């Protein structure tokens, strides 16, 4: 057992489960956006593995950009404050924008981003998130594509971090409580 795995209480979603769900989402996006100018906007850094795998399952032409925002600092609870650390490189006016996010928890981050990006007049603005944790939602968010609805545990792996660690685990795991308490 390596030192990261010791910190995992339980594997919630394994590699096969992630792969087959992402394949499904990719197919659906390819159908829904057929003939449209699709731009995927990944939210750094948590969405990187999801974006990389989803991208390969999309069979229509699309472009990709990234934003980096911060709402957590190094704690396991949201601060409610969203800061833009890196903005888009490209214009999104008249493009069909699909935000690619790792997890929706309180909804604060996405609520802010949606308002922000709407101001740039995209043709449409939707969300694809791998995980949805509805129990702690503070702001209502409409999601078009959701991988899995998950219970209120602190999750790591497959892009999700605790204090920037564990992003490289190939699965989604429940972090042991004594690590963050
Ligand atoms: P929200 O603004 O509360 O919806 O938080 C969204 C962001 O918080 C996500 O993009 C993640 O970066 C982070 N986050 C929320 N829940 C978890 C978790 O269980 N593990 C790791 N990061 C999380
Ligand atoms: Mg994130």
Length of the chain: 181
Note the ligand closest to the C-alpha atom of 133: 1
Residues with CB under 6 A from ligand 1: 46, 71-72, 78, 101-109, 133, 154-156, 160
In the chain, the domains with their CATH numbers are 15-153 (3.40.50.2020)
Percent of the chain having pLDDT more than 70? Answer: 94
Q: Examine the pLDDT at 108 and tell me if it is beyond 80.
A: yes
Q: How confident is the model at residue 71 (pLDDT cuts 50, 70, 90)?
A: confident
Give the Å distance between the CA of 110 and the centre of ligand 2.
9
Residues 6+ apart with CB under 8 A from 170: 15, 157, 158
Q: Examine the pLDDT at 59 and tell me if it is beyond 70.
A: yes
Q: Examine the pLDDT at 150 and tell me if it is beyond 80.
A: yes
Q: Examine the pLDDT at 72 and tell me if it is beyond 80.
A: no
Give the Å distance between the CA of 31 and the centre of ligand 1.
29
Note the ligand closest to the C-alpha atom of 105: 1
pLDDT of residue 78: 57
Token readout for 80 is: 């409610």
What would the mean pLDDT of 27-46 be, rounded to a whole number? 98
């Amino acid at each position: 057992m390596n030192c990261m795995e010791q910190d995992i209480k339980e594997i919630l979603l394994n590699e096969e489960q992630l792969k087959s769900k992402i394949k499904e989402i990719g197919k659906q996006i390819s159908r829904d956006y057929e003939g449209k100018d699709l731009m995927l906007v990944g939210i750094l850094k948590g969405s990187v593995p999801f974006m990389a795998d989803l991208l390969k399952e999309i069979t229509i032409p699309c472009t990709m950009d990234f934003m980096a925002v911060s709402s957590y600092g190094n704690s396991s609870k949201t601060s409610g404050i969203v800061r833009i650390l890196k903005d888009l490189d490209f214009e999104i006016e008249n493009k069909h924008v699909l935000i690619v996010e790792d997890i929706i928890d309180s909804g604060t981050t996405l609520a802010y981003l949606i308002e922000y990006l709407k101001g740039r007049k995209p043709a449409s603005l939707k969300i694809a998130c791998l995980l949805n944790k509805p129990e702690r939602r503070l702001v209502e968010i409409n999601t078009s594509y959701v991988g899995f609805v998950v219970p209120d545990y602190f999750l790591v792996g497959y892009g999700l971090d605790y204090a920037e660690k564990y992003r490289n685990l190939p699965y989604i795991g429940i972090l042991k409580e004594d690590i963050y308490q």
